[in-house]
Amino acid sequence: MSTTAQRSLAGLPQKVSVVEVGPRDGLQSEPKFVATDEKIGLVNGLIDAGIRHLEVTSFVSPRAVPQMRDAADVLAGIDRTRGAVLTALVPNTKGAERAVEAGVDAMVVFMSASESHNLKNVNRTRQSSLDGFKDICRIGAEAGIDVYGAIATSFGCPFEGDVPVQSVVDIAKAYRDMGITVLSLGDTTGMATPRLVQERCRALADAVPETDIALHFHNTRGVGLVCVYAGLQEGVTRFESSIGGLGGCPFVPKATGNICTEDLVYMLDECGIETGVDLAQLIAVSRKAEDSVGHMLPGQLMKAGPRLEVHSMDAVATANG
Ligand code: COA
Ligand code: ZN
């Protein structure tokens, strides 16, 4: 009989996919250009650690996001032998053509649930984004490449405040009607709360039951992992996170990093949920990521270590009175 520690907590899924988005969402707002070789090393290290779904870059305008200008070269250098699914963001048909040419496994189209963030992020209305995605789906179908969808500002918008759940549902339905049934709800600026997670997951389960939902949180207000827990309680089994908690969004004020991959894996491990990821290896990759970007990252596990990593008593002075 297994111990309580080996079983997942009652009602939570037994197995979860951790989708690494650090190489794209994390690095895109780093002011210093991270060399292509370092990006490739980061992705390969994550695959070594057991991650099997990675958003590795974006095929966006190099003027809008200069850090992603080496997208095709990054893809060309990644180890493709271990079956990891490599995806990339594409905003328009030009991005889709570049992504197909570079050999992505799946393209991710993205738009915001709020009009003002969509205008800031991709310089077009939501309707115009949706209209353009039909051509991207065609390009994907012709190339035999899957198209996934993402919705930014799904839990709130930095320019508009609350985002109605109906806006998220309407986009999810439009995606579904185009054949897009893998959907990520992005919390671009960390405005998600457990109640909003519950509400949105239930509304989508009702409106688009065939769609596979992923949750993408930022830890801007310190409740990223609490929101993951709320998602687990709704049966969600895909969570997006960023190594070391890298991240931010270049097109919103005060944006900070994604939830941290190794902190997420630690939490899932301790809930008895299987991820297939090796925590010690992940922590080593996270430390390398700090070297690559040249500054401290917010992840906590890489600083504190796993809970059973005990210290020698000789390492600290005794508190003599
Ligand atoms: N890849 C490379 N270049 C691209 C491109 C793409 N996917 N899309 C457009 N461009 C180039 C065009 O060729 C054109 O170049 P030129 O001036 O040398 O002819 C220039 O960018 C402007 O093209 P246009 O279609 O008018 O785009 P825009 O200026 O309205 O910008 C986007 C629209 C979507 C391309 C731009 O806002 C963008 O890349 N946004 C991405 C934002 C992002 O990644 N956010 C973070 C993720 S949430
Ligand atoms: Zn994000």
The mean pLDDT value of the chain amounts to 95
Mean pLDDT of 207-230: 97
Q: Whole-angstrom Cα distance, residue 117 to residue 111?
A: 9
The pTM for the full model equals 0.96
Ligand 1 pocket test, pick from 21, 30, 57, 60 with the greatest ligand atom count within 8 Å of Cβ, gives 60
- Tell me the pLDDT tens digit for each residue of 164-179: 999 999 999 999 999 9
Q: Is 122 in the pocket of ligand 1 (CB under 6 A)?
A: yes
Q: Which pLDDT score is estimated for 27? A: 96
Q: Which two tokens stand for residue 315?
A: 């390492």
pLDDT at 10: 85
User: 3-class secondary structure for the chain?
Assistant: CCCCCCCCCCCCCCECEEEECHHHHHHHHCCCCCCHHHHHHHHHHHHHCCCCEEEEEECCCCCCCHHHCCHHHHHHHCCCCCCCEEEEEECCHHHHHHHHHHCCCEEEEEEECCHHHHHHHHCCCHHHHHHHHHHHHHHHHHHCCEEEEEEECCCCECCCECCCHHHHHHHHHHHHHCCCCEEEEECCCCCCCHHHHHHHHHHHHHHCCCCEEEEECECCCCCHHHHHHHHHHCCCCEEEEEHHHCCCCCCCCCCCCECEHHHHHHHHHHCCCECCCCHHHHHHHHHHHHHHHCCCCCCCHHHHCCCCCCCCHHHCCCCCC
Q: What is the mean pLDDT of residues 229-248?
A: 96
pLDDT above 90 for 18: yes
Check pocket membership of 121 for ligand 1, CB cut-off 6 A.
yes
% of the chain exceeding 70 in pLDDT: 97
Distance CA 262, CA 220 (A): 17
pLDDT given for residue 256 in this prediction: 85
Does the pLDDT of residue 3 top 80, yes or no? no
175 lines ligand 1 (CB under 6 A): no
What is the pLDDT at residue 250?
Answer: 67
For the ranges 77-91, 103-117, 269-283, 306-320, the lowest mean pLDDT is seen at 306-320
246-291: per-residue pLDDT in tens? 987 667 777 789 999 999 999 999 999 999 999 999 999 999 999 9
What is the C-alpha separation between 99 and 58, in angstroms, rounded? 8
92 lines ligand 1 (CB under 6 A): yes
Give the amino acid at 60: V
Ligand 1 atom index nearest CA of 188: 48
Residue 6: predicted pLDDT: 58
Q: Does domain 17-315 have CATH number 3.90.1150.10?
A: no
In this predicted structure, what is the pLDDT of residue 1? 43
Name the closest-CA residue to atom 21, ligand 1: 61
CA-to-CA separations, 195 to 192, 209, 227, 231, 234, in angstroms, rounded: 8, 20, 9, 10, 11
User: What does the pLDDT look like over 137-162, one tens digit per residue?
Assistant: 999 999 999 999 999 999 999 999 99
Question: How many A from CA of 216 to the centre of ligand 2?
Answer: 6
Going by alpha carbons, the residue nearest to atom 44 of ligand 1 is 60
For residues 303 and 309, give the distance between their C-alpha atoms in angstroms, rounded to a whole number.
12
Q: What is the pLDDT of residue 134?
A: 97
Per-residue confidence (pLDDT) for residue 249, from 0 to 100: 67
Pocket test for ligand 1, best of 61, 98, 240 (most atoms within 8 A of CB): 61
Residue 15 has pLDDT above 80, yes or no: yes
User: What token pair was written down for 160?
Assistant: 């508009």
Query: Which residue has the CA at smallest separation from atom 34 of ligand 1?
Result: 122
Enzyme catalytic residues: 249
